[in-house]
Amino acid sequence: MFKKVLIVTVLLVTFASSASANTLYEVKKGDTLTKIAKINKVAVNDLRTWNKLKKDSIYVKQKLIVKKPTVATKTTTNVVSNNSKIIVTNKPKQETVVPPVQVKDEQLTIAPNAVQAMNLSTEGQAMYSFIVDFAKHLEGIPYLYAGNTMAGFDCSGFIYFIHSQAGLDITRQSSDSYFTQTANVVVPVIGDLVFFENTYKQGISHMGVYLGENKFIHAGSKGVEVASLESSYWKEHFVSFNRFNSLTVR
């Protein structure tokens, strides 16, 4: 009998630096980009690049990235399951990239239910640790439709930003498009994605990052915040926990 073979590519990443209070700087009265650059011993140009600033004007309580995340090492692990055994092979120089899938806003996408993502290894969760830590430091940044910078985020823009700042090669897409590039996770770990449907539109319409203990962080209408999956609203619209099929380091 033919058996389906599942291949899930997981990127194992070890970061030279982790998110900390020193990664972000909250603008105070009297601050300028030049002053902030001097305090943090970085170039003004770097501040513009890291924060995607088109001009030098900043505002009080704005949060700026003042330390660029760096990647130390990377390897790619292919996990192959034939329902009876698991074989793990390390291929440090080979990477698998899943091409972006374009999905129209009005389309309802269906999760690849036949595909169950494997649990990440300890090394693989190093990537998640950074992403979750960094995401928590962005709490309070306002909601901005189509936003994907420190000026404001929408839900998918937030996911794009925290993953790209972790050094991962990810394109800016909608939540339903990200959904098609992920596999369902039966037992989620901290750092996995969480998807919701029928919030402001039909179909997959919202996403966040799982924090454990039935909590997740997301860019909602009130800005970046931690919410509970136990609340009646999110419980009603919950779809699944998911994990990217593959991501590579830039």
Q: What is the pLDDT of residue 240?
A: 96
Kindly report, as residue ranges, where domains of CATH 3.90.1720.10 are found in the chain. Answer: 97-249
CA distances to 36, 45, 90, 134, 138 from 41, rounded to whole Å, are 8, 12, 39, 21, 22
The rounded Cα 67 to chain-centroid distance in angstroms is 18
Query: Which residue type occupies 170?
Result: I
Q: Name the catalytic one among 137, 163, 206, 237.
A: 206
pLDDT for 80 beyond 50: no
Whether residue 233 is predicted with pLDDT greater than 90 in this model: the reply is: yes
**Mind listing the pLDDT tens digit for each residue in 48-60?**
887 777 778 888 7
- Sequence ranges of the chain with CATH classification 3.10.350.10: 24-65
Question: Is a pLDDT exceeding 70 seen at residue 82?
Answer: no
Class of domain 97-249: alpha beta
Half-sphere exposure of 55 (CA within 13 A, CB side): 3
200 vs 111, more confident: 200
* Beta strand pairing call for 238-244 and 223-228: unpaired
Task: Judge whether 206 counts as a catalytic residue.
Answer: yes
User: Among this protein's residues, is 237 annotated catalytic?
Assistant: no
Give the sign of the dihedral formed by CA 20, CA 50, CA 205, CA 111. Answer: negative
Q: What is the pLDDT of residue 62?
A: 80
- pLDDT tens digits for 99-136? 333 333 333 333 333 344 555 655 556 788 889 999 99
Task: Enter the CATH code of domain 24-65.
Answer: 3.10.350.10
Question: What is the pLDDT, as a whole number, of residue 22?
Answer: 54
Q: Tell me: the pLDDT tens digits for 212-221?
A: 999 999 999 9
The strand ranges marked E within 16-60 are 24-26
Which comes out higher in pLDDT, residue 23 or 80?
Answer: 23
pTM above 0.75, yes or no: no
Beta-strand pair 152-153/148-149? antiparallel
Confidence band of 250 (pLDDT split at 50, 70, 90): low
Q: Give the integer Cα–Cα distance in Å for 204 and 105.
A: 9
